[in-house]
């Protein structure tokens, strides 16, 4: 096994690279949070602070920011759409076609974006489906601005960082699984060399194999530690953003159930935190799910180029049309991480 030690290079190199990258990215987010100015929000949105009082006038900017921290642009769009639907300002029929009541006025910038996108889509088709409207809104600049603001304030990662985190977790997990297998092979090879060679050569080969096996086992442990404890999870919220999510969930305790939230008019925050699940078995939920509500649409074929692309500004320009790509292939891990953050 003259070249056996070269097998260790990928694992240790990946662990070191992603440990440094994850640490620097998190430190940068902390610095942005300390130095960023307070957001300039209209008084009517700050009055209903994350559901501490029944939300009125649609999903406020703060609620939509909570939605972004929980699930990026898709969760933000879903929250705005479902809030309008629950307030009777938007209806979806059994075929998933969207209609807006005549004469209804948007109450927030996000609702204005919904009305504008619905009008634009209606110019090209006789009927606008919820899935089509949702896709258009995910790339809308008004929605993207929410993510850009959170990035500038150190509460959310840019999409390109989330994509790289996801790639890093995948590679580190593969190393964690592969190196124990290689270690077993190294031990077996060392044993065969010990049996097949003379006493002196056999002992030397055995020590070589056992040393290689130990370093491979250590590489597996190091990769696992970096993945679990150093490299951030591929979710939008930074550590500071996750604190905001926990505070928001405590604040919304009067709206812990869909029934209470609906009765009090504060369902917007519940939708931001828990998505479509908060509506339970209400009529029409199955149609909403079929239209893509609660899911993340992404171009998984572009994950490699997105992961290592250096394009996009630090202010969050990557959060525009591809804002949902952060969880395209690792949604299970992302969901678990977000749930633990909001617990």
Predicted confidence (pLDDT) per residue in 253-278, tens digit: 443 344 444 444 467 888 888 888 88
End-to-end Cα spacing for the chain = 49
Distance from the Cα of residue 59 to its chain's centroid: 21
> Residue 92 pairs with which residues in a beta bridge?
98
Q: Are strands 98-99 and 91-92 parallel, antiparallel or unpaired?
A: antiparallel
Query: Do 100 and 133 fall within a single domain?
Result: yes
- CA–CA gap between residue 215 and residue 233 (Å, rounded): 27
| In a shared domain, residues 119 and 54 | yes
Supply the DSSP string of 247-271, one letter for each residue.
HHHHHTGGG-SHHHHHHHT-HHHHH
Rounded Cα gap, residues 83 and 119, in angstroms? 19
Q: Which of 200, 230, 260 is where one domain is finished?
A: 230
Range of the domain at 150: 36-157+234-342
Would you state the pLDDT for residue 54? 41
Structural domain tally of the chain?
2
Same domain, 172 and 138: no
- Which residue, 222, 200, 217, 205, is CA-closest to 16? 222
Same-domain status, 212 and 311: no
Q: CA-CA distances (angstroms) from residue 293 to 9, 20, 27, 109, 167?
A: 43, 36, 34, 20, 25
* The pLDDT of residue 226: 96
3-state secondary structure of 91: strand
Residue that the structure tokens 């270690």 belong to: 183
User: Are both 94 and 131 inside the same structural domain?
Assistant: yes
Do residues 104 and 171 both lie within one domain? no
The DSSP element (H or E) to which 161 belongs, if any, is helix 159-196
Between CA 118 and CA 113 the distance in angstroms is: 8
- Considering the domain architecture, whether residues 151 and 285 belong to the same structural domain is answered as yes
Among 197, 230, 263, where does a domain finish?
230
Residue 74 to residues 138, 281, 330, Cα–Cα distance (Å): 6, 21, 15
The reply to whether 73 and 189 lie within a common domain is no
Q: Tell me, what DSSP letter sits at residue 313? A: -
Separation of alpha carbons 147 and 39, rounded Å: 12
Q: What is the pLDDT of residue 26?
A: 92
Distance from chain centroid for Cα 119: 30
- Report which of 175, 177, 162, 173 is spatially closest to residue 331, judged by C-alpha positions: 162
Same domain, 15 and 106: no
CA distance 65 to 70: 9
In eight-state DSSP terms, residue 102 is: T
> 133 and 199 in contact (C-beta within 8 Å)?
no
Tally of CB atoms within 10 A around 221: 13
Q: Are residues 112 and 239 in the same domain?
A: yes
Residue ranges in the chain modelled with pLDDT below 70: 1-3, 37-57, 193-194, 196-202, 251-266, 296-343
Is residue 92 within 8 A of residue 130, CB to CB? The reply is yes
- Asked whether residue 99 falls in the same domain as residue 130, the answer is yes
Please give the pLDDT value at position 202: 62
Residue 67 sits in the same domain as residue 147: yes
Domain termination residue (choose one: 203, 230, 257): 230
Burial zone of 312 (CB within 10 Å; 0-12 exposed, 13-18 middle, 19+ buried): middle
């Amino acid at each position: 096994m003259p070249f056996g030690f070269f097998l260790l290079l990928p694992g240790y190199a990946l662990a070191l690279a992603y440990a440094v990258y994850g640490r620097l990215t998190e430190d940068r987010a902390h610095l942005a949070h300390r130095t960023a100015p307070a957001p300039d929000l209209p008084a009517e949105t700050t009055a209903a602070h994350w559901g501490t009082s029944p939300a009125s006038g649609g999903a406020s900017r703060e609620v939509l920011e909570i939605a972004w921290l929980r699930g990026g642009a898709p969760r933000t769009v879903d929250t705005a759409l479902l809030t309008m639907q629950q307030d009777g300002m938007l209806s979806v029929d059994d075929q998933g076609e969207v209609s807006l009541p005549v004469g209804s006025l948007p109450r927030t910038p996000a609702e204005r974006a919904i009305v504008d996108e619905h009008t634009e889509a209606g110019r090209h088709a006789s009927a606008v489906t919820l899935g089509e409207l949702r896709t258009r809104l995910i790339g809308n600049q008004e929605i993207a601005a929410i993510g850009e603001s959170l990035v500038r304030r150190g509460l959310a990662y840019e999409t390109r960082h989330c994509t790289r985190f996801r790639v890093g977790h995948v590679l580190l997990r593969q190393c964690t699984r592969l190196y124990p297998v290689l270690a077993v092979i190294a031990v077996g090879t060392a044993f065969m060399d010990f049996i097949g060679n003379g006493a002196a050569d056999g002992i030397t080969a055995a020590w070589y194999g056992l040393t290689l096996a130990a370093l491979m086992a250590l590489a597996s442990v190091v990769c696992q530690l970096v993945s679990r404890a150093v490299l951030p999870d591929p979710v939008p919220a930074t550590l500071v953003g996750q604190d905001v999510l926990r505070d928001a969930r405590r604040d919304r305790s009067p709206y812990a159930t869909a029934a209470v939230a609906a009765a009090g008019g504060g369902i917007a925050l519940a939708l931001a935190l828990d998505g479509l699940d908060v509506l339970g078995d209400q009529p029409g939920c199955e149609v909403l799910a079929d239209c893509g509500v609660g899911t993340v649409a992404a171009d998984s074929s572009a994950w490699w180029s997105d992961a290592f692309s250096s394009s996009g500004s630090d202010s969050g320009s990557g959060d525009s049309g591809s804002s949902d790509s952060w969880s395209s292939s690792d949604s299970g891990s992302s969901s678990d991480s977000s749930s633990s953050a909001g617990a």
